[in-house]
Amino acid sequence: MKITTKGQVTIPAHIRERLGLLPNTEVEFRLAGDSVVVKKARRGARRGELLVAHLRGRGSVRLSTDEILALTRDR
């Protein structure tokens, strides 16, 4: 098996099926001596949850929730 110029390899179908690696499944890479171990990532925070956590507390306008909702509604 060869690595593409983008650093990609194809995981053989029998391995993907056995591990339940579907499209968009997150995987982790770990070095083990001179080998690489690939495993299904634990169900931790997903990309959307990480984005929300990153943005949490970033607002700079001091408005209450009711004031923000009033701005978004028809008057």
Segment 7-16, tens digit of pLDDT: 999 999 999 9
Contacts of 29 (CB under 8 A, 6+ apart): 36, 37, 38
Task: Copy the structure tokens of residue 58.
Answer: 């970033």
Q: Which residue has the tokens 């169900």?
A: 43
Contact indicator for 41, 26 with CB cutoff of 8 Å? yes
| DSSP designation for 36 | E
- The owner of tokens 């179908």 is 13
pTM of the predicted structure, to 2 decimals? 0.50
Ordered by start, the domain boundaries in the chain are 13-72
Give the tens place of pLDDT for each residue, 35-55.
999 988 877 667 788 788 888
